[in-house]
Amino acid sequence: MKTALVTGANRGIGLELVRQLKAKGFELIAVCRDSSSELDAESMRVESGIDVTRREDLTELKRRLGDTQLDLLVNNAGLLRGSSLAGIEDELDDWRAQFEVNSLAPIRVTSALANNLASGAKVVVITSRMGSIADNTSGGQMAYRMSKAAVNAATVSLAHDLKERGIAVGLLHPGYVRTGMTGNTGHIDPHEAAAGLIARIEELNLETTGSFHHANGEALPW
């Protein structure tokens, strides 16, 4: 049986990802800060108490995993907070928090668990098309956009670095999804987003490693 680890698994897109990966036959490790009744109802392995921005929590996660081999790592945890040109000085903690969660944490989690990745494993970062510079036709949300552009840049390096181990790395945008992050506005529900993301994960291979795709299959510009 293949093993998948998903961060931010207690709600939103992460919760739906673990549900659907389980239905596909994966053994799950659902990582979160605090579990939820919905996640508890899934009867899967939950590793709670893990804040992806805290070094000691990442060390603890690695300790709990021991020599468990991962076939799939999905860096899904993310943060969206408002940011504006006029407000930057007052909002600076929020700008930095988005860098911590969206840019640094996916790389830190992958680094902490690098020795747990099986040969031929896949690593996915749930990014956003808002991190695309070419696709930015509306402005706003500077901090979130910067944080996702930064993780996109780092993840391309990750793809190069992990290729020699036979590990494919993908950047995936889930769509505009009705979750807590969007105040439950959006075009699609988490169920549809997760189904698209999993289809893209299934397609990901060493030839497409380092690519940036929408969950609907569209290749996204940088």
Ligand X SMILES: NC(=O)c1ccc[n+]([C@@H]2O[C@H](COP(=O)([O-])OP(=O)(O)OC[C@H]3O[C@@H](n4cnc5c(N)ncnc54)[C@H](OP(=O)(O)O)[C@@H]3O)[C@@H](O)[C@H]2O)c1
Residues that bind ligand X (CB under 6 A): 7-8, 10-14, 32-34, 51-53, 76-79, 101, 126, 128, 173-174, 176-177, 179-182, 186
Q: Shortest approach of ligand X to residue 115 CB, angstroms?
A: 21
Q: Shortest approach of ligand X to residue 164 CB, angstroms?
A: 27
The answer to whether 75 and 106 are in contact (CB under 8 A) is yes
The one-character DSSP state at 179 is S
Helix or strand holding residue 5 (H, E): strand 3-7
CB nearer to ligand X: give 176 or 216: 176
Whole-angstrom distance, CA of residue 152 vs CA of residue 158:
10
CB nearer to ligand X: give 3 or 47: 47
Q: Shortest approach of ligand X to residue 17 CB, angstroms?
A: 9
**DSSP readout, 59-115?**
HHHHHHHTTPPEEEEEE---------TTTHHHHHHHHHHHIIIIIIHHHHHHHHTGG
CB nearer to ligand X: give 56 or 164: 56
CB nearer to ligand X: give 6 or 162: 6
Q: Shortest approach of ligand X to residue 14 CB, angstroms?
A: 5
CB nearer to ligand X: give 7 or 211: 7
Whole-angstrom distance, CA of residue 28 vs CA of residue 15:
11
CB nearer to ligand X: give 168 or 171: 171
The answer to whether 60 and 70 are in contact (CB under 8 A) is no
Q: Shortest approach of ligand X to residue 144 CB, angstroms?
A: 8
Q: Shortest approach of ligand X to residue 31 CB, angstroms?
A: 8
- CA neighbor of 7 nearest in space, from 177, 124, 115: 124
The one-character DSSP state at 208 is T
